[in-house]
Chain A
Amino acid sequence: MTQLTVQKKLEILSDAAKYDASCASSGTARRHSDSRGGLGSTEGHGICHAYAPDGRCISLLKILMTNFCIYDCAFCINRASSNVARARFSVEEIITLTIEFYRRNYIEGLFLSSGIIKSPDATMVDMLRVVRALRMDHDFRGYIHLKTIPHASPALIEEAGRYADRLSVNIEFPSDESFARLAPEKDVTEIKKAMAGIRTHISDASEKTMVSKKARTFAPAGQSTQMIVGADAANDSVILSRAAGLYGSYALKRVYYSAFSPIPDSSRILPLIKPPMMREHRLYQADWLLRFYGFSLDEVTSTTETGMLDLDVDPKLAYALRNRHLFPVNVNTAAREMLMRIPGMGVKSVKRILEARRHGLLRYDDLARLGGRMKTAKAFLASGDWTPGRLLDSAHLRSSFVAPEQLSLI
């Protein structure tokens, strides 16, 4: 086999990495370089250094160490039975790419994942060589997201958490049956156990020990996971219920939903569809309602039809349309929980409403200034000089929010 150039390897191993949606670089411990040395910094919120035409942010150098893999997961571009071109980076090549990209301000850091070669432990050991050298030999202080390999031994995961800002293991599917069918060589229990182990390390690290007042560092940006949407028959209720269970169980920072997308040389058992992007978007919105808007899982799933979220209107609007008896909400008197349920009002606008109303009665015009999307919100709120009146009960209310299908000339 001829030796591949770094450029060719980068082509193959970034192409192989793009199906992982996560690219976040926020929420980690603050660090920076200084006159005594080091390269890089992290300052609370991450930075998206570029955007690809798929609308996704490019914050990290997201690559696989290798796309050779002994597993044959049907949905995966790198599965053993696929005929995609294969490559493997050396430790030094990954380090050089990371550092040279970082110095030119292209990236916030590295997101390293890998196909499984030889064994999970052998793969994890190789990945650790990269991140250990970045941190120890090159004093790299930028962001590192490491995909941990399920089935890898706990001692390796523990070491990974010392170097990485974030660890992640992908649950892949909302149901264990789909997992067993589409990833037959992986054991879903091992995935959950890996997440459980990371949770334990994270919470242990946050407890101060008797010996040192300073907490140990373990993956300060927490852990995340990803679920593929649309490759199996699971509906949105099943997906959201799985997500809620994962958030509760493993203190996850994020569950990523990734619309199943065509891959080169796909497996026969999975239909190649157009990725259900709107469905993915609605799932993220529903996830936000669960985490930041005080909605319960039942409230969110109550807006579904046969388990699927409404694609035409967002889940918060769908909830309001189905529960009109709770509206209009008076912005001058209502509690925060109810303000958060007004469609068109986000967390920030609600915060501003609560501050502003201490200074006097809020009028309709004030609300737009506070950041509300009044086109949507006006039907569901009342203010000093505004009440939606019959608008709220109108039979056409829902259709007024649904964009008409675009007509096109033939």
Chain B
Amino acid sequence: MFALELPATGVFDCWRMQARGLAGRNVRSRDVVWRRHGSPPSLLAGEAFPDGDAPGVAMTVPKAFLVLAREASCHRDEHVFALLYDLLLRVMHDGDILSNPADPAVRQLEVMAKSVRRDAHKMKAFVRFKELPQDDGNRRRFAAWFEPEHFILEHVAGFFVRRFADMDWLIATPRGSLSCVGGDLAIDATPAVNSNLSDGVEDLWRTYYGNIFNPARLKVKAMQAEMPRKYWKNLPEASLIPELIRGAEARAQGMRLAAATPPPSHLAKIKAPAVPPASAATGDFTSLADLHESARHCRRCDLCLHATQTVCGEGSSTARIMFVGEQPGDKEDIAGKPFVGPAGALFAQALAQAGLARADVYVTNAVKHFKFQPRGKRRIHQRPNGTEINICRWWLTQEIRLVQPRLLVGMGATAMLALTGDGSRVMSRRGRVEETPEQRTVLPTLHPSAILRASNAGEADAMKTLFFDDIKSAASFVS
């Protein structure tokens, strides 16, 4: 039987070293009694552990064991050291045990580690520093009193060091103190006493706490689940809680019953003008700018609800060619401009090859809002339906009337449907010009997105050649 007393600080490292030695000598778990520094010795006092290194055994354990052991060893129940040693002996034979959360010993230690983590978290949350008068140095000095449940001071020290590097601080607890003066951390295991300091800033903090509380949403249990009563006595704001709870219902009721007061007399002077209502545009636009402004507020169909913005056409108001696509995509919806995404890049290439400058043509879409299905953090493009195309054709017709292009290029079946009323496959239609009901000439071609969706590189190349040829034909048609 061995009886081991762990030191006041550096507990885990000592346990680790001792456990390694015991395991190396094949000492069984039930033959060791562990106790924390200063706790009363067991009645079964045994022999002290022999000095010197254990016989050389290579001892490797999964990293997860050390993580678990380091946390669990802070637990106030000193039985934890025996549980850990017992588990160590098992883990040495079968490292896989740890990954079985249904193993009762693993589970028990995990529950203990969790309790330690929660305590550490609450310490980071509920320590309240109070300022001390400055001494000769120029660093500000703060002190706090906290009552942790477990032996967590070493475990949380790093957090306070990283956070408050430019001040000196002391956290005193019944389980010892942490301090950092001039950047040097010190841990003292001697139990401290509460010196009940006060700090003027606490009044401001209480003002904030009382006013950020919404009396119409009283949920006392939810508060207590996260901020249990045992912490209240060291929280300056907690003294307000009973009064806030008592007065809540009357305050909420008072707000409900109070009649609205007339607005202040200077309201008209300070108030911003209202956004003009989404009026039904009449179609007597005299310029593209006029049309674009009106289209911004379009609510003709439901697509505006989820899209970011109306994406109108852009380009020359006297363009000889107007290119019509299907609808803005994800990138276009965000940017508010047509053909700026991947399909836009392909379209730009085609224009360049045909010797056309984007500024000289007009580029627009059959439908002006992006239609999509949200899928997590992405948006999956959806084809607009006949009704949506029909409703949005109104805008397209206005754009055509204002630009008066000599040639319309319908890219894809949706554009062709909007322009000619015929939405059949464009691959069988390309090569010939068609007409709109108003007898304007339309050249059908494929949509650049179709090329991006091609199933293989060969097919994509072939489609790209066709598309580029069509754009060249359009250029020579108007030259």
Contact = CB atoms under 8 A, between A and B. Distances in A.
A302 interface: no
Interface in A251-268: 251, 259, 261-268
B164 A355 contact: no
Contacts of B333: 196, 249
The 5 A-B residue pairs with the shortest CB-CB distance in the complex, in nearest-first order: A55-B222, A248-B374, A55-B219, A81-B263, A32-B162
Contacts of A50: 125-126, 209, 227, 235, 237
A185 B226 contact: no
B458 to A, nearest CB: 31
A330 interface: no
Contact of B296 (A19, A34, A43, A189): A189
7 contacts: A50-B126, A53-B241, A80-B271, A83-B264, A189-B310, A261-B217, A275-B216
Contacts of A261: 214, 216-217
Contact of A185 (B215, B272, B379): B272
B306 interface: yes
Contact of A32 (B163, B199, B260, B270): B163
Contacts of A180: 275, 277-278
A26 interface: no
B275 A185 contact: yes
Interface string B198-230: 010111110111011111111111110011000
Nearest to B261: A83
B274 interface: yes
B64 to A, nearest CB: 11
Contact of B308 (A51, A62, A189, A241): A189
Contacts of A43: 159, 162
Interface stretch (B23-31, B41-49, B248-256): B248-256
A176 B271 contact: no
Given A54-B223, A180-B278, A272-B256, A185 B271 contact: yes
A262 B226 contact: no
A268 B261 CA distance: 9
Interface stretch (B101-109, B383-391, B423-431): B101-109
A328 interface: no
Contacts of B457: none
Contact of A370 (B101, B127, B128, B221): B101
Nearest to A365: B102
A38 to B, nearest CB: 6
A80 B104 contact: no
B377 interface: yes
Given A81-B264, A262-B255, 14 more contacts: A11-B211, A18-B213, A33-B165, A50-B235, A52-B214, A184-B275, A242-B305, A248-B377, A263-B255, A264-B258, A265-B261, A272-B256, A274-B216, A369-B101
Contact of B270 (A19, A41, A80): A80
A53 B213 contact: yes
Nearest to B98: A355
B305 A103 contact: no
A38 B139 CA distance: 13
B166 interface: yes
B167 interface: yes
Contact of A192 (B183, B227, B308): B308
Interface range, B side: 35 or more
Interface residues of A, number: 96
Contacts of A359: 96, 99-100, 102-103
Given A47-B121, A53-B244, A57-B226, A105 B128 contact: yes
B285 to A, nearest CB: 19
A89 to B, nearest CB: 13
B273 A277 contact: no
Given A14-B211, A32-B163, A37-B166, A187 B275 contact: yes
A132 to B, nearest CB: 20
A382 B267 CA distance: 66
Contacts of A369: 101-102, 104, 107
B309 interface: yes
Contacts of A249: 306, 308, 333-334, 374, 379
Interface string B280-307: 0000000000000000110100001110
A39 B165 contact: yes
Contact of B272 (A70, A104, A200, A248): A70
B2 interface: no
Given A104-B199, A105-B128, A248-B372, A352 B142 contact: no
B244 to A, nearest CB: 5
Given A249-B308, A370-B101, A53 B220 contact: yes
Contacts, number: 268
Contacts of B128: 104-106
A355 B99 contact: yes
Given A32-B162, A184-B274, A370-B102, A48 B374 contact: no
A298 to B, nearest CB: 10
Contacts of A82: 261, 263
B381 to A, nearest CB: 11
A43 B124 CA distance: 12
A39 B333 CA distance: 41
B130 interface: yes
A116 interface: yes
B226 A104 contact: no
B216 to A, nearest CB: 5
B202 to A, nearest CB: 8
A193 B256 CA distance: 35
Given A53-B219, A189-B308, A247 B374 contact: yes
Nearest to B130: A104
Interface string A178-216: 001000111101001101100110000000000000000
Interface string B134-172: 000000101010000000000000010011111100000
A75 to B, nearest CB: 13
Given A41-B162, A248-B377, A352-B101, A70 B216 contact: no
Contacts of A398: none
A311 interface: no
A72 interface: yes
A53 B223 contact: yes
B245 interface: yes
Interface string A364-405: 001001100000000000000000000000000000000000
A271 to B, nearest CB: 9
A10 interface: yes
Given A176-B304, A184-B274, A54 B201 contact: no
